[in-house]
Amino acid sequence: MASKKLLGLTAATAALVLGLTACGNGDGDNGANGNGGGNGEAGEEFTFGILYPQTGALAFLGPPQITAAQYAISEINDAGGILGTEVPAIVEGDEAGDAAQANQAANDLVSADVNAVIGAAASSMTQASYDTITAAEIVQCSGSNTAPDLTDIDDGGYYFRTAPSDLLSGPVLARQMIEDNHVDIAIVARADDYGDGYLRAVEEEIEAQGANVVTTESYDPDATNFDSVINSVTGEDPDAIALISFQEGAQVMAELIEAGIGGDQLYITDGLNDPELGETVNEDDPSVIDGVTGVAPGADNPEFNEGLRAFDENLDVFQFAPQVFDCVTAIALAAEAAGSVNGSDYVEHLPEISRPEGTECFSFAECRDLLADGEDIDFQGTSGNIDFDDNGDPTAATFEVFHFGDDGYETLGFEEYSANE
């Protein structure tokens, strides 16, 4: 699946790419038995890059992203590697919550001749960097991008995500609020791709379910004062408020609570899914958020969580870890199916390894062995069923309903949602 774009490289960058012959997009021939087929040399390494927030407002999401990617690679290597060759250490880039830095990090990963890029973590950082990656015919897969606008980007077919679009998340949040007997609902969202798309999805589902949206408010995420938003929302006397935000939402929550909104009236999204949120909202009294409920892409998979915790006992945030793990594993299986480490060869196999017509399988080793036997496979991710559509989006997803109560942060349960509902 050839890209319609060409990547502009400086002479120095081109020289660097040509000099990196130890790994990456080679032109040799891998045999079809797991040591080859396609265009790479026998034994050629498959190198992953990752674009994730080491710094910036979403840095708390960094540890689960890199740890999950490393965990997936360790499982692949324990099973013999990709096409019989061990996967080397992942090449890291910092998106930093800054568009210019994210794109520079993407350029660095392209120059390092990686065979796939995991990330970016934030949808806006993918918007800033995907053209650099996909125009180089490098497959990009994010485990945490949820903005609906990413469905139709001009990526030449090289961008995928295992995280569900907010068009799936929004209805789950709306239904949770209505199930909790709220009928007059306000929606507050950050003014960006994430907030705008999520807001529309929540609003449409609330109205479809027969409840009322009393007001919607968007805010500048870089603002230092949210008085106008708070006054507008509280003036409508809503039963509940959906807050679609990232870390700046902690300040919005603090101001809403100070204005008399109870924790049991607040519903939040994945951008605030942090067990330490109470301390961020009010360091002196974290219990002010007791009653807050949220919805985030999740995975009803205790075995995976236990394995990841054993892999890194210091990890305490698991947000989007299963989805990142699935990006790495799905790409590895596509390379096995193609018999090649080249993105231009294996990209067309990514949708194929997740189609329901194949034999269900649950790990890299199990799925690879089925491929070696000539079977079509339906990879069942650690985050749940994926089933990539023609745009590289998952068509179904599992969502965690989380809550802050007397015992602190807890998971209330999981909800399945499909684009076909």
> How large is the average pLDDT for residues 72-95?
98
With respect to residue 289, please indicate whether it lies within any of the assigned structural domains: yes
> How large is the average pLDDT for residues 108-124?
97
Report residue 208 CA to chain centroid gap: 27
Read off the CATH number of the domain in which 36 is found.
Answer: 3.40.50.2300
Amino acid at 114: V
CB 39 within 8 A of CB 26: yes
Q: Which element (helix H / strand E) includes 281?
A: helix 277-281
Residue-wise pLDDT tens digits, 236-263: 999 999 999 998 999 999 999 999 999 9
pLDDT band at residue 193 under the 50/70/90 scheme: confident
Q: What is the 8-class DSSP label of residue 110?
A: H
Instruction: Please tell me the predicted confidence (pLDDT) of residue 319.
Output: 87
Task: Render the burial of 331-360: b for 16+ CB within 10 Å, e for the rest.
Answer: bbbbbbbbbbbbbbbbbebbbbbbeeebee
* Burial class of residue 368, CB neighbours in 10 A (0-12, 13-18, 19+): buried
Q: For the chain, how many structural domains are there in total?
A: 2
Instruction: Please tell me the predicted confidence (pLDDT) of residue 29.
Output: 41
Peptide bond between residue 310 and the one before it cis (omega within 30 degrees of 0) = no
> Looking at the structure, do residues 79 and 113 belong to the same domain, yes or no?
yes
pLDDT band at residue 421 under the 50/70/90 scheme: low
With respect to residue 332, please indicate whether it lies within any of the assigned structural domains: yes
> Looking at the structure, do residues 132 and 42 belong to the same domain, yes or no?
yes
Higher-scoring residue by pLDDT: 89, 35: 89
- Three-state DSSP state, 285: coil
> Looking at the structure, do residues 16 and 157 belong to the same domain, yes or no?
yes
> Looking at the structure, do residues 35 and 107 belong to the same domain, yes or no?
yes
Of 23, 40, 35, nearest in space to 344 by CA: 40
Instruction: Please say if the pLDDT value at position 110 is more than 50.
Output: yes
Q: What is the 8-class DSSP label of residue 45?
A: B
> Looking at the structure, do residues 261 and 369 belong to the same domain, yes or no?
no
> Looking at the structure, do residues 289 and 404 belong to the same domain, yes or no?
yes
Residue-wise pLDDT tens digits, 26-74: 443 443 333 333 333 446 999 999 999 999 988 988 999 999 999 999 9
Instruction: Please tell me the predicted confidence (pLDDT) of residue 43.
Output: 62
Of 197, 205, 216, 198, nearest in space to 179 by CA: 205
- Three-state DSSP state, 419: coil
Instruction: Please say if the pLDDT value at position 150 is more than 60.
Output: yes
> Looking at the structure, do residues 122 and 180 belong to the same domain, yes or no?
no
Enclosing domain of residue 211 = 167-299+398-418
Higher-scoring residue by pLDDT: 240, 7: 240
> Looking at the structure, do residues 402 and 276 belong to the same domain, yes or no?
yes
- Please tell me the total number of residues recorded for the chain in this structure: 421
Residue-wise pLDDT tens digits, 333-381: 999 999 999 999 999 999 999 988 999 999 999 999 999 999 999 999 9
Instruction: Please say if the pLDDT value at position 21 is more than 50.
Output: no
For strand 384-385 and strand 377-381, is the pairing parallel, antiparallel, or unpaired? antiparallel
Q: Which element (helix H / strand E) includes 400?
A: strand 396-405
Over the chain, what is the mean pLDDT? Answer: 89
Higher-scoring residue by pLDDT: 421, 140: 140
pLDDT band at residue 384 under the 50/70/90 scheme: confident
**From residue 186, how far is each of 35, 203, 263, 277, 349 by CA, in Å?**
57, 9, 14, 21, 43
**Of 28-37, 111-120, 406-415, minimum mean pLDDT range:** 28-37
> Looking at the structure, do residues 284 and 377 belong to the same domain, yes or no?
no
Task: Render the burial of 43-61: b for 16+ CB within 10 Å, e for the rest.
Answer: ebbbbbbbbbbeebbbbbb
Instruction: Please tell me the predicted confidence (pLDDT) of residue 27.
Output: 41
pLDDT band at residue 290 under the 50/70/90 scheme: very high
With respect to residue 1, please indicate whether it lies within any of the assigned structural domains: no
> Looking at the structure, do residues 179 and 328 belong to the same domain, yes or no?
no
Q: Which element (helix H / strand E) includes 278?
A: helix 277-281
Of 117, 118, 33, nearest in space to 83 by CA: 33
With respect to residue 135, please indicate whether it lies within any of the assigned structural domains: yes
% residues pLDDT > 90 (the chain): 79
Instruction: Please tell me the predicted confidence (pLDDT) of residue 419.
Output: 72
Q: The dihedral of CA 381, 154, 137, 132: what is its sign?
A: negative
Instruction: Please tell me the predicted confidence (pLDDT) of residue 395.
Output: 86
With respect to residue 275, please indicate whether it lies within any of the assigned structural domains: yes
- Euclidean distance between CA atoms 256 and 263, whole angstroms: 9
With respect to residue 382, please indicate whether it lies within any of the assigned structural domains: yes
Instruction: Please tell me the predicted confidence (pLDDT) of residue 3.
Output: 34
φ, ψ of residue 72 in degrees (nearest 5): -60, -45
- Euclidean distance between CA atoms 347 and 350, whole angstroms: 6
* CA Rg value for the chain: 22
Instruction: Please say if the pLDDT value at position 8 is more than 90.
Output: no
With respect to residue 374, please indicate whether it lies within any of the assigned structural domains: yes
| pTM of the model as a whole | 0.81
> Looking at the structure, do residues 18 and 125 belong to the same domain, yes or no?
yes
Residue-wise pLDDT tens digits, 195-211: 999 999 999 999 999 99
> How large is the average pLDDT for residues 9-27?
37
With respect to residue 308, please indicate whether it lies within any of the assigned structural domains: no
Instruction: Please say if the pLDDT value at position 317 is more than 90.
Output: no
**From residue 272, how far is each of 43, 45, 284, 294, 398 by CA, in Å?**
43, 38, 19, 8, 18
> Looking at the structure, do residues 63 and 184 belong to the same domain, yes or no?
no
